[in-house]
């Protein structure tokens, strides 16, 4: 019986060893960080037609920071080629949550023509990721933990939305945010040429 017990133990070891590490085994894939560099826009479409910014429009405050995955981003680089919509939010903001699904869809509808950039204030990274995944936010999200960016745009609390023309002219801002239908109308009126 001692010999049978040893053979069984050896067989069990062989099974456990064989199932652990094989050349074909792949480590589990880490899920991409929502709002990170992978969400930055691609090349500008060749047929992109934009309205010129009004003469005398003030310059939008330039800001640099990091996305949710730690990648650096410069807003001036983004608005050099196309309009930018800044969406200031936090994961705990009820009105932000109510409007985000429609804003996320609007961002997808205008992908590559208008760059949507979320700007999240002081918030827990895990809560932000949960918010971004729940509301299918597929555009870049800039961390603003110290409130510097919000302050430069005179945003006291979320939600708030700011529209910047290609080239960096500050076109419009909405304290308290704006719903997606009205924002779509403003995009067509102020930046997107027919």
> In angstroms, rounded to a whole number, what is the distance separating the alpha carbons of residues 17 and 40?
43
> Is 171 a residue whose pLDDT tops 60?
yes
Highest mean pLDDT among 9-13, 30-34, 161-165: 161-165
Instruction: Name the β-bridge partners of 142.
Output: 67, 119
pLDDT tens-digit readout, 37-47: 999 999 999 99
Per-residue pLDDT at 11: 42
pLDDT tens-digit readout, 61-92: 999 999 999 999 999 999 999 999 999 999 99
> In angstroms, rounded to a whole number, what is the distance separating the alpha carbons of residues 73 and 10?
56
The end-to-end CA distance of the chain, in Å, is 86
Put residue 43 in one of left, alpha, beta given phi > 0 → left and psi -120 to 50 → alpha. beta
- Residue 53 — pLDDT band, cuts 50, 70, 90? very high
Tell me the CATH number of domain 49-190, given options 3.40.1360.10, 1.25.40.340, 3.40.30.10, 3.40.50.1970: 3.40.30.10
**Domain-wise residue ranges, the chain:** 49-190
pTM score of the predicted model: 0.83
- Residue 194 — pLDDT band, cuts 50, 70, 90? confident
């Amino acid at each position: 019986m001692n010999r049978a017990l040893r053979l069984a133990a050896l067989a069990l070891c062989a099974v456990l060893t064989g199932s652990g590490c094989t050349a074909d085994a792949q480590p589990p894939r880490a899920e991409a960080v929502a709002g990170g560099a992978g969400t930055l826009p691609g090349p500008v479409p060749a047929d992109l037609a934009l309205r010129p910014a009004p003469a005398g429009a003030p310059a939008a405050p330039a800001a640099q920071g990091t996305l949710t995955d730690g990648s650096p981003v410069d807003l001036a680089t983004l608005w050099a080629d196309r309009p930018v919509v800044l969406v200031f939010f936090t994961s705990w903001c009820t009105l932000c949550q109510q409007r985000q699904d429609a804003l996320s869809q609007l961002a997808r509808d205008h992908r590559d023509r208008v760059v949507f950039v979320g700007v999240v204030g002081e918030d827990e990274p895990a809560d932000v990721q949960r918010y971004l995944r729940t509301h299918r936010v597929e555009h870049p999200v800039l961390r603003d933990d110290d409130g510097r960016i919000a302050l430069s745009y005179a945003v006291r609390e979320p939600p708030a939305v700011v529209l910047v023309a290609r080239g960096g002219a500050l076109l419009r801002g909405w304290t308290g945010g704006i719903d997606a239908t009205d924002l779509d109308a403003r995009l067509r009126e102020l930046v997107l040429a027919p």
